[in-house]
Amino acid sequence: MTQLETELNDLLTLAFRSVREIEEDMLKNSHVLNISISEIHFLQAVYDSGDNCTISALSANQRVSLPSATAAVNKLAKKGYVEKKKCPSDLRVVNVHLTRLGHKAVMAHRYFHTRMVKAVSGALNTEEQEAMLKGVQKLNQFFADKLHREDKEK
């Protein structure tokens, strides 16, 4: 690897780890939420899916097997973050909905991200903000394309 590639690798790895650790600390320090970072991301996926969230959709969204998604939803239901309801028109389908506690957890997570983004962007001037935005957009597109290619190969 070139010096640039080595430094970029180190920075991306460190940034990912730091964000994850900060998120985990936020969840640990919450006296209301008894939830892991993986579980909060499942809740976010339920929130983003709206009223038609199924375990199959969560499995695809979170890129986990159907049994893993089922286990995660069952654990979240036991903790009181989601509820499962059979679809009236097709009893084979189970819809997943956030409870008030689940909604509260998602809002706390979204607030955390809002504060983090404001803090990062606030430390940059306008030119740096625009450069960072373009760089992150390209990075995001690269990863989205890579995931899409891998999905096609399966």
Rg of the chain over all Cα atoms, to the nearest angstrom: 18
Token pair of 36, please?
């892991």
Residue 129, pLDDT above cutoff 90? yes
- The rounded percent of the chain whose pLDDT value lies above 70 is 99
Question: Other CB atoms closer than 10 Å to residue 46's CB: what's the count?
Answer: 24
Amino acid, res. 63: R
pLDDT tens for each residue of 22-32? 988 888 887 77
Mean pLDDT of 9-15: 95
Angstrom distances, CA of residue 110 to CA of 21, 29, 75:
16, 16, 22
pTM of the model: 0.83
pLDDT tier for residue 75 given thresholds of 50, 70 and 90: very high
pLDDT at residue 152 in the model: 72
pLDDT at residue 76 in the model: 97
The helix (H) or strand (E) run that includes residue 95 is: strand 90-98
Q: CB of 52 within 8 A of CB of 39? A: no
Token pair of 106, please?
């998602």
pLDDT at residue 90 in the model: 86
DSSP state, residue 54: B
The helix (H) or strand (E) run that includes residue 41 is: helix 37-49
Question: Other CB atoms closer than 10 Å to residue 39's CB: what's the count?
Answer: 21
- CATH T-level fold of 3-113: Arc Repressor Mutant, subunit A (1.10.10)
Length of the chain: 154
Token pair of 88, please?
């009236």
Residue 149, pLDDT above cutoff 90? no
pLDDT at residue 154 in the model: 63
- The candidate with the shortest Cα–Cα distance to 35, out of 23, 22, 46, is 23
**From the centroid of its chain, how far is CA 133?**
19
